[in-house]
Amino acid sequence: MSRLVLVINSGSSSIKYELVDVARERAVASGLVEQIGEPQGRLTHEYDGRTSEWQGEVTDHTHGLTLAYRTFAETGLDLDEAGVAAVGHRIVHGGKVFTQPTLITPEVVETIDRLADLAPLHNPANIIGIEVAREHFPDVPHVGVFDTGFFHTLPPAAAAYAIDADVAEEYGVQRYGFHGTSHEYVSEETARLLGRPRDEVNTIVLHLGNGASASAVRGGVAVETSMGLTPLEGLVMGTRPGDVDPGVLLHLGRHAGMDIADIDELLNRRSGLKGLSGVNDFRTVTERREAGDPRAALAYDVYVHRLRKYVGAYMAVLGRVDAITFTAGVGENAASVREDALAGLEGYGIEVDPAVNRVRGDHGRVVSTAASKTAVLVVPTNEELAIAKAAWEFV
Ligand code: ADP
């Protein structure tokens, strides 16, 4: 029987997909459709060590998925013949309803649609992905895996905002957290690499990609995370600011003539590294900083300072920290961020080994000294594999 699961991450203007062999825990093929709905769209597809590219207008998500489907066949892997056993869908917001991977039925789609108020850019795009994929694969289970799911265990003290409780209740205003699939996968991998049972290990996970979030995981259970009602709260990100005094927004509304749409645009597209330095890609920030650009230097410092604050806060939340684990594009690759964020914490039992930390690698590894009471690790995240495995459970 086929062990192939197609994973679909249908975003607002892009679709990421990966065909995963769950038995061998590896990607067979993967691809990305970008700039959907714009005049110049693009598809990049990888299979068998080759990259295929296509450029042109991708009118909508249906068109995008059809192109992907066709590219599979054209590059030698016909999905109809390969025998896809299940489709896993990344769904951004599960609200309080979806805490576990869920078999998708028409009722489930309706509920995801209702939750779109909480994630207006994401949930509708996720639903389109589900609908189109079900036309292509009507006879296999489709499973939704929710970004918020892993954080449904946040204790009330961590989940509640200290605002009028009636308003919060009526509008579902609480902290939900995001990137849950990654935090769960990475915290499990951390325990595995340390050779200890998951329920005995306390971990701080730092997921540092374009979006960035931190979590505190006690014995496999999430007890804190930096993202809130939306993915804006917490760490400094590529284009999002993380924590900001809400008074800043009131001030801009009153004095800068900004309305809700302007503030939305400021917070989602013109903040974070981009806002501080002009560019959102961490590599470019690093290059400019090394070339002496003061704005890039400040962006780096704010980024690292925020990380340290969260590490310190989560040490206090957990009490005992066995591991601090870095993941995603920046976390896996930027050795200086790992070193700078944890510098000077020897007194707390945290000691990065500078030489080991600088060795590049694509496998999970420990980068702290033997004397470090808290292990510091780098663990490549693999959300697609985690989603594929979750979907496979339903086959
Ligand atoms: P996404 O949230 O889109 O999945 P990724 O996890 O791919 O994001 O992370 C993207 C970020 O990782 C970008 O800011 C990119 O510059 C950064 N990054 C990738 N490779 C490196 C590297 N070698 N050094 C520093 N940063 C890197």
- The DSSP secondary structure of 81-138, one letter per residue, reads HHTEEEEEEEES--TTT--S-EE--HHHHHHHHHGGGT-TTTHHHHHHHHHHHHHH-T
Q: Kindly state if the Cβ of 219 falls inside 6 Å of ligand 1.
A: no
pLDDT at 11: 85
Mean model confidence pLDDT for the chain? 95
* Rounded average pLDDT over 163-190: 97
Confidence tier at 262 by pLDDT (50, 70, 90): very high
Which residues, in sequence order, are bridge partners of residue 222? 217
- Give the residue-averaged pLDDT of 60-71: 92
Give the span between the Cα atoms of 338 and 196, in whole angstroms.
Answer: 23
- Does ligand 1 come within 6 angstroms of the Cβ of 283? yes
Question: Tens of pLDDT along 72-99?
Answer: 999 999 988 888 999 999 999 999 999 9
- Confidence class of residue 1 from pLDDT cuts 50, 70 and 90? low
For 234-261, what is each residue's pLDDT tens digit? 999 999 999 999 999 999 999 999 999 9
Q: Is the CB of 64 under 6 A from ligand 1?
A: no
Please report, rounded to a whole number, the percentage of residues in the chain having pLDDT higher than 90: 91
Q: pTM of the entire structure?
A: 0.95
- Going by CA atoms, what residue is nearest to atom 12 of ligand 1? 329
Ligand 1 in reach of 380 Cβ (< 6 A): no
Q: Is the CB of 282 under 6 A from ligand 1?
A: yes
From 185, 210, 289, the mutation candidate for ligand 1 (largest count of ligand atoms within 8 A of CB) is: 210
Asked if residue 171 has pLDDT above 80, the reply is yes
Per-residue pLDDT reduced to its tens digit, 302-322? 999 999 999 999 999 999 999
For residue 133, the CA-to-ligand 1 centroid distance in Å is: 29
User: Residue 74 Cα, ligand 1 centroid: separation in angstroms?
Assistant: 30
Q: Which residue among 333, 337, 383 is best mutated to probe the pocket of ligand 1, counting the most ligand atoms within 8 A of its Cβ?
A: 333
Mean pLDDT over 338-365 rounds to 97
- Which residues are identified as catalytic? 147
Mean pLDDT of 363-369: 98
Q: Label residue 121 by pLDDT band (50, 70, 90).
A: confident
Interhelix angle 260-269/246-255, rounded to 10 degrees, is: 130
Helices 106-114 and 123-136, axial angle in degrees (round to 10) = 160
Residues 200-227 pLDDT 10s:
999 999 999 999 999 999 999 999 999 9
Tell me if 210 CB under 6 Å of ligand 1. Answer: yes
Rounded mean pLDDT, 150-179 = 97
Query: What number does the ligand 1 atom closest to the CA of 286 have?
Result: 25
**Which of 122, 273, 330, when mutated, tests ligand 1's pocket best, judged by the most ligand atoms within 8 Å of its CB?**
330
Average pLDDT estimate for 329-338: 98
* Averaged pLDDT for residues 31-58: 94
- Give the integer Cα–Cα distance in Å for 376 and 194: 10
Question: What was the pLDDT predicted at 2?
Answer: 77
Q: What does the pLDDT read at residue 119?
A: 84
Q: Which atom of ligand 1 is nearest to the CA of 210?
A: 2
For residue 140, give both structure tokens. 């296999």
> What percent of the chain shows pLDDT beyond 70?
100
